[in-house]
C-alpha cells in the first residue's frame, strides 16, 4: 500500500522544499497543535422533532412530570430536561405511528393528562448531548438540557492543549522524525527535498514517563509490503520487551533497549539533539507495574511524518499507544483524519488521542 504525496500547503503558507528548512519551521512555530476530535464536537448537532405541551396550571407540573416519566420515558433524549418554564416535553414525533394527533395520543396512552395542556406545538431539539460549553449555550436557546463540563475536552477543542514546554518537546520529536528521513535519504543518495518523502514515512516512539525515544523506524515497503515505518517501530518496541515478530538483526549490535536504531543514526541524532534514546528496563513477572506498561506502546507517544494508514492505525490501537502525532495528511489512506477517524470509533477496546498542525 503506497501512501500519497504530502498534502499541498496553502498558497499563503508554503512548505519549504528543503527538509532542513522544514525542520526549522516545525521547531520554531509558535502555534499550538490541533487535536483531531470526534466530528460531533465541531459539526452541527443533529436534531429531532418532538411534541411540547403548554401546561394550563403550574401546580400540575409535578404530577405531570412523574406520570410522563413513568408512561412515556424519554429513552433517547435523556440529556434533555422535561420542563422549560410551563412547556413540557411530551415525546418525539416518531412515537405517533399513525395519523392521530398528539391530543389523541395522550388520551389513548395517558388519559389522566388529557385536560392538563392548553395547547401543543412541534419543535426541534438536539438529538445528542452537548460536549462543550458553547454547544450547551446554543442548546439552551432551544431547550434546557443537562450538561457536565469537561475542561480537558474544552482545551483540546480550542487548540490550546499543550503548554510551552510540552509543545517544545512535541515539535522536537517531530523534527527528529524529519532528521531521520533526511539521514536515510542521504544514505540512498536521494535529494534533500520534501518531494523525496512522497513514498516513505518515519515513526518515532517516545516514552513520556522517562522522556526517552524508545524506537525509530524508516519505511521498508520497497522490500516488504507490510513493513511500514509504524509497523516496524511497534515490532522493535516489542523486541525491547523480549518479543517481536520479524526476524531482523539488532542494528546497533549492543543494547537491547535500542533495538532497531541504526548505530550511525544514533550518533547523528545525539550530536544534533539533546535527547535521551532507549527503552526503559522490562520488569520481571513478579515486579509490580503501573498503568503505563510496558505492554508494547502502552502510555507511549507516536510521531509520524505522515498520517498512518488503517493497517498502521489498527496496530497502534492494539499496541495501546496513548497519543499519535503526524505532520502531513494522508489523503488517500489516512485513518486518523482524511479517510476515517479510527481513534473516535466508540466500540474499540482502546482509543488514543491524535494531534497534528506542526506547520
C-alpha cell at 84: 422549560
Sheet holding 301-306, edge to edge: 34-35, 353-356, 323-328, 301-306, 202-207, 212-218, 276-277
List of the chain residues with pLDDT < 70: 1-17, 191-194, 248-260, 281-294
C-alpha cell at 45: 448537532
pLDDT on residue 98: 78
* Beta strand residue intervals within the chain, DSSP E: 34-35, 47-55, 83-84, 87-92, 117-126, 202-207, 212-218, 276-277, 301-306, 323-328, 353-356
pLDDT on residue 105: 92
Instruction: Round to whole Å and give the CA distance between 89 and 96.
Output: 14
Which tens digit of pLDDT belongs to each residue from 175-224? 999 999 999 888 877 766 667 777 789 999 999 999 999 999 999 988 89
Neighbours of 152 (CB within 10 A): 9
Q: What letters, b where the CB count within 10 A reaches 16 and e where it falls short, cover 127-143?
A: bebbbbeebbeebeeeb
Cβ 215 vs Cβ 233: under 8 Å: yes
Neighbours of 118 (CB within 10 A): 11
Instruction: Round to whole Å and give the CA distance between 76 and 96.
Output: 16
In sequence order, which residues have a C-beta less than 8 Å from that of residue 74 and are 6 or more positions away? 80, 82, 89, 91
Q: Which H or E element spans position 286?
A: none
- The CATH label, of 3.40.140.10, 3.30.70.20, 3.40.720.10, 3.30.1330.10, for the domain at 19-33+162-356 is 3.40.140.10
Which tens digit of pLDDT belongs to each residue from 122-176? 999 999 999 999 999 999 999 999 999 999 999 999 998 999 999 999 999 999 9
pLDDT on residue 286: 52
Alpha carbon 177 to its chain's center: 20
DSSP string, 72-91: S--TT-TTB-SEETTEEEEE
Of 196, 164, 161, 203, nearest in space to 180 by CA: 203
Domains of the chain, by residue range, sit at 19-33+162-356, 41-156
pLDDT on residue 7: 45
What values do phi and psi take at 231, rounded to 5?
A: -65, -40
Instruction: Round to whole Å and give the CA distance between 257 and 281.
Output: 7
Name the 3-class secondary structure at 315: helix
Cβ 302 vs Cβ 215: under 8 Å: no
Instruction: Round to whole Å and give the CA distance between 297 and 326.
Output: 17
Length of the chain: 359
* Beta strand residue intervals within 219-308, DSSP E: 276-277, 301-306
Check residue 251 and report its DSSP letter.
T
Instruction: Round to whole Å and give the CA distance between 238 and 95.
Output: 54
Amino acid at each position: 500500500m503506497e501512501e500519497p504525496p504530502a498534502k499541498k500547503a496553502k498558497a499563503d503558507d508554503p512548505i519549504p522544499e528543503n527538509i532542513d528548512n522544514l525542520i526549522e519551521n516545525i521547531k520554531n512555530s509558535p502555534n499550538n497543535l490541533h487535536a483531531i476530535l470526534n466530528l460531533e464536537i465541531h459539526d452541527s448537532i443533529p436534531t429531532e422533532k418532538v411534541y411540547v405541551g403548554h401546561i394550563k396550571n403550574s401546580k400540575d407540573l409535578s404530577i405531570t412530570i412523574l406520570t410522563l416519566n413513568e408512561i412515556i420515558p424519554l429513552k433517547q433524549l435523556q440529556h434533555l430536561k422535561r420542563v422549560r418554564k410551563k412547556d413540557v416535553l411530551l415525546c418525539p414525533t416518531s412515537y405517533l405511528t399513525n395519523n392521530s394527533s398528539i391530543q389523541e395520543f395522550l388520551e389513548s396512552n395517558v388519559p389522566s393528562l388529557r385536560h392538563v395542556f392548553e395547547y401543543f406545538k412541534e419543535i426541534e431539539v438536539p438529538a445528542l448531548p452537548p460536549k462543550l460549553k458553547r454547544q450547551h449555550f446554543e442548546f439552551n436557546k432551544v431547550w434546557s438540557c443537562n450538561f457536565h463540563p469537561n475542561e480537558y475536552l474544552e482545551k483540546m477543542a480550542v487548540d490550546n492543549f499543550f503548554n510551552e514546554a510540552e509543545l517544545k518537546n512535541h515539535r522536537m520529536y517531530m523534527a527528529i522524525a524529519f532528521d531521520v528521513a533526511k539521514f536515510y535519504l542521504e544514505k540512498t543518495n536521494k535529494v534533500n527535498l520534501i518531494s523525496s518523502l512522497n513514498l516513505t514515512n518515519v515513526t518515532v516512539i517516545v516514552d513520556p514517563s522517562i522522556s526517552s525515544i524508545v524506537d525509530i523506524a524508516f519505511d521498508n515497503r520497497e522490500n516488504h509490503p507490510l513493513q511500514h515505518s509504524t509497523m516496524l517501530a511497534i515490532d522493535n518496541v516489542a523486541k525491547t520487551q523480549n518479543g517481536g515478530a520479524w526476524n531482523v538483526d539488532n542494528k546497533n549490535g549492543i543494547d537491547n533497549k535500542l533495538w532497531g536504531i541504526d548505530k550511525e543514526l544514533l550518533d547523528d541524532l545525539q550530536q544534533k539533539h539533546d535527547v535521551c534514546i532507549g527503552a526503559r528496563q522490562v520488569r520481571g513477572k513478579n515486579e509490580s507495574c503501573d498503568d503505563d506498561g510496558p505492554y508494547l506502546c502502552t502510555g507511549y507517544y507516536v510521531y509520524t511524518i505522515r498520517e498512518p494508514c488503517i493497517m498502521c492505525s489498527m496496530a497502534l490501537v492494539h499496541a495501546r499507544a496513548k497519543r499519535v502525532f503526524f505532520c502531513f495528511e494522508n489523503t488517500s489512506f489516512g485513518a486518523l483524519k482524511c479517510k476515517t477517524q479510527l481513534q473516535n470509533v466508540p466500540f474499540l477496546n482502546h482509543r488514543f488521542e491524535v494531534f497534528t498542525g506542526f506547520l
